[in-house]
Chain A
Amino acid sequence: MLQLPELLAILLLLAGTIMMRGQQKMGGFLLSSLAVHGGNVLAAAGSSAGAGAGSAVWSFYLVGAALMHLGLYVAMNKVARAARHDGMTALAGMYYRSPHIAVALMFLVLSLSGMPLSAGFIGKWLVLTAAAGDGQYVLLLVLLASWLGTLSCYFSILRSIWMRSYEGIEYMRITPLSSILLWLCAGAGVLLGLYPNAWLSLFA
């Protein structure tokens, strides 16, 4: 039987995934991504299999997702300002225009899509294992469907950055402060992916 947190998680996951599909604006993309990862946090918080870990699992996921979205916001904000529009096409050719933003964005997007060597990968595993342990098979299927549905959206950012060229400005600069913030977020995602115990053992 689904409890309130699981129901809310399923709603957020489905709504976020549907919103993200075909999203043309960076703002809308960020919002839908927040909804999807909010659903994952709720799924982790409502789990009883992961309850032995105290607040470790959901807080790990929450911190990881918050940092990744902060980094994504900083990068997208700068890109939108430089391009003078916030369409997803503004990300095209970032590899040529600003390689270091492109690399940082890649780490952020990979973490949000649950790919390895990132906080997102560890979080995805823990949430899935918890749902399976609880026998919450509906939630488990929705989690996986949402992951599948959003994966191509996150990878479309990678495609824009690395595989396409841009007709507009040639080179893009960002302030040192923004650059530091962007890299802190991206680096934290990788560090949490490599040493999850640093966070998990604090709260377990």
Chain B
Amino acid sequence: MLTGLPILTVILFTPALGALLLLSVPSYRVVWLRYIAAAISALPLLLSMVLFISYQPGRGGEGFNERLPWFRLPWGHTELQFDYHLAVDGLSLPLVVLAALVFAISAAASFIHIKKRWKTYYVLFLVLQTCSFGLLLSRDVFMFVLFMETAFVVIYMLLGIWGGERKEEASRAYLNYSAVSSALLLLGLALLLGWGSAPGNHAALLEDASSQETLSGSYDALYSKLHSAGEVWEAPDLLSPDEPVGPTDSGMADGLKWLIYALLAAGFLLRLPVVPFHTWLLQFYRQAPPPVSMLAAGIMVQAGVYGLLRFVFMLFPEQSAACSALWVFAGLLNLLYGALSITAQTDLRHVAGYSMLSQSGVVLLGLAAMNEWGLTGGLFHLVSIGLVGSLMVLIFGSYYERTGTYDIGQLSGLARPMPYMSGLLMAAMLAAVAMPGLSGFSGTLTVLLGLFETMKGAAVATMLGLLLAGVALLRVVLNITFGPARGSLASLQDARLSEAVPMIVLLAFIILLGIYPSVLLDQMTHSFSSLLSWLNIRTGG
């Protein structure tokens, strides 16, 4: 179907070309700007669907590998090499489709919620879309950082220009946390890259059978450098089963490995974020316009988890397994703190923020289980919370547009004047509390299965946290949708077509993943095969 078409490059650059096209449209042509941006942001969704259908999990992304040299430089005793390298696998594919969907819906939501400087907004919006795809599709560390940092600048601008009354404060908080996160990641990745260029290490690398004469930023090269340079990746020896098997030392000192692991893990956890470094996310939800908050719910948290999986769990499985108790702790802290905090909120935006925080805890718990159920469940739940969080933010934004408030105390009986939106909100909340038949159920159940296999105590605590979050969220929904509609609330209009369509599309995906999770789970098969085979070898499983 896709023979000869560099589909990853097309997906990546369609929004960027769209941004260039928008630059030629006069800024007073607001309707043109809106429709062109919406049409362009929808194109990658179609392409990503084609990619999703064409992807064959058994072949592990074979055929979807696009690579061109970018620049090379003599470096110490070797050569430094960075490439334009895109690839897709079962780990990135679901997130690419999710990003494409959330961007298309966010572009539609921008019609209503963005009320100034449209040209700049849509140009930045499309640049951010390119960055999000780039981050997920890059297979070169250098490109990954490039897209990650560009996204950080664009989000800073979107929040700072189109945010609420305290936008500067929120954008500064976002800048500070993101900058610290970037510094940690840069330090970790520079140590990882720089390690091979020191003379002694280079000699060790050259002794390797693959004779790496270049110091590459390629993810695959780094992976093999960490897992096979000067070491033996042996299959279990059936004749002498008592002998230890698996990877021996990679040549990198243990201390350095742990240091890089800690730096990368801390960097991505800040972006996720985790308690107690979550205040920027709440400020973000409070100040950003709804279409930009949707991106926080559907892209930013996902990018953090993707980074954790790709660069922390995959590159350092031994360290990750050794720290699984810490990952459980971080996950439970997010889940319980988020769930308890929802009960004390009076602002709908904070409800959305804390809900995202608690649900991201479930994802972390899935990763902490370090088994097939846990990892695939965590990834599945990540997609689910992107859909549910985006729908929640979209509906809250529409409420605000009509009532002028996010204050829960001032909203009641909204189901009477707005049955359609209130019904959708109820569905979103039910998905968030893992109601069977909706996406949240499949993800949560899979994570719990994974946890029960390895850490029963954590699984019980997770169930308690989920129960708390469920009660808190349902209380909020019942408070604002049921009861008598006060004063002017009784005469509010329900969703317009331009609002209803994006909401129903999101709900359709939530239901699809709820009743037929295999559509996603099948594509994720083999994503974690290398990590799992390492764990199996290590545990003799």
Binding site for B on A (CB under 8 A): 48-54, 56-57, 110, 115-117, 121, 124-126, 128-135, 140-141, 144, 147-148, 151-152, 155, 158-159, 162-163, 195-197, 200, 204
Contacts and interface: CB of A to CB of B under 8 A. Distances in A.
Contacts of B71: 195-197, 200
Q: Which 5 A-B pairs have the closest CB atoms?
A: A132-B194, A133-B197, A133-B194, A52-B74, A128-B190
With most chain B CB atoms within 10 A of its CB, the pick from A53, A135, A141, A155 is: A155
B175 A121 contact: no
21 contacts: A48-B76, A49-B197, A49-B198, A52-B76, A53-B73, A56-B73, A57-B73, A125-B145, A125-B190, A126-B73, A129-B193, A129-B194, A131-B194, A133-B76, A133-B197, A140-B190, A152-B176, A155-B156, A159-B160, A159-B168, A159-B171
Contact of A52 (B75, B160, B179, B183): B75
A68 B149 CA distance: 19
B193 A134 contact: no
B216 to A, nearest CB: 12
Nearest to B147: A116
B150 A116 contact: yes
Given A116-B149, A125-B190, 16 more contacts: A49-B194, A52-B77, A54-B74, A56-B73, A117-B146, A126-B80, A128-B186, A128-B187, A128-B194, A132-B193, A133-B194, A133-B196, A163-B168, A163-B171, A197-B70, A197-B71
With most chain B CB atoms within 10 A of its CB, the pick from A57, A115, A129, A141 is: A129
A125 B72 CA distance: 13
B195 interface: yes
A135 B198 contact: yes
A151 B75 contact: no
Contact of B160 (A53, A110, A129, A162): A162
Given A163-B161, A197-B71, A125 B76 contact: no
B153 interface: yes
Given A131-B194, A132-B195, A204 B74 contact: yes
A195 B69 CA distance: 11
B327 interface: no
A134 B74 contact: no
Interface size class for chain B?
A: 35 or more
Interface of B: 70-80, 142, 145-147, 149-150, 153, 156-157, 160-161, 167-168, 171-172, 175-176, 179-180, 183, 186-187, 190-191, 193-198
A100 to B, nearest CB: 12
Contact of A133 (B75, B145, B175, B179): B75
Contacts of A121: 146, 149
With most chain A CB atoms within 10 A of its CB, the pick from B80, B146, B150 is: B80
Contact of B167 (A140, A141, A144, A163): A163
A131 B194 CA distance: 8
Given A131-B194, A163-B160, A51 B76 contact: yes
A50 B74 CA distance: 8
A163 B537 CA distance: 55
A133 B167 CA distance: 40
A130 B180 contact: no
With most chain A CB atoms within 10 A of its CB, the pick from B145, B179, B194 is: B194
B187 A115 contact: no
Contacts of A128: 186-187, 190, 194
Given A116-B146, A132-B193, A140 B74 contact: no
Contacts of A51: 76
Given A116-B147, A133-B197, A158-B157, A148 B74 contact: no
Contacts of B146: 116-117, 121
A110 B74 contact: no
A134 B198 contact: yes
A132 B195 CA distance: 7
A50 B183 CA distance: 21
A108 to B, nearest CB: 14
B217 to A, nearest CB: 9
A144 B183 contact: yes
A157 to B, nearest CB: 12
Contact of A130 (B79, B142, B194): B194
A59 B189 CA distance: 24
A196 B196 CA distance: 22
A155 B193 CA distance: 28
A162 B187 CA distance: 30
A134 B80 CA distance: 14
Contacts of A196: 71
B193 A162 contact: no
A53 B176 contact: no
Nearest to A127: B190
B183 A155 contact: no
A53 B71 CA distance: 13
B38 to A, nearest CB: 24
B153 A50 contact: no
A137 B145 CA distance: 21
Given A52-B75, A148-B179, A159-B160, A131 B190 contact: yes
B183 A152 contact: no
Given A144-B186, A148-B179, A151-B175, A125 B153 contact: no
A7 B157 CA distance: 37
A200 B149 contact: no
Nearest to B184: A144
Contact of A152 (B172, B191, B193, B198): B172
Contact of A155 (B175, B186, B191): B175
Contacts of A126: 73, 80
Contacts of B195: 132-133
A151 B186 CA distance: 14
Contact of B183 (A125, A130, A134, A148): A148
A117 B16 CA distance: 13
A54 B73 CA distance: 10
Nearest to B134: A116
Contacts of B167: 163
Contacts of B186: 124, 128, 144, 147
A109 to B, nearest CB: 10
Contacts of A130: 194
Nearest to B172: A152
Contacts of B180: 148
B168 A115 contact: no
B364 to A, nearest CB: 26
B245 to A, nearest CB: 33
A200 to B, nearest CB: 5
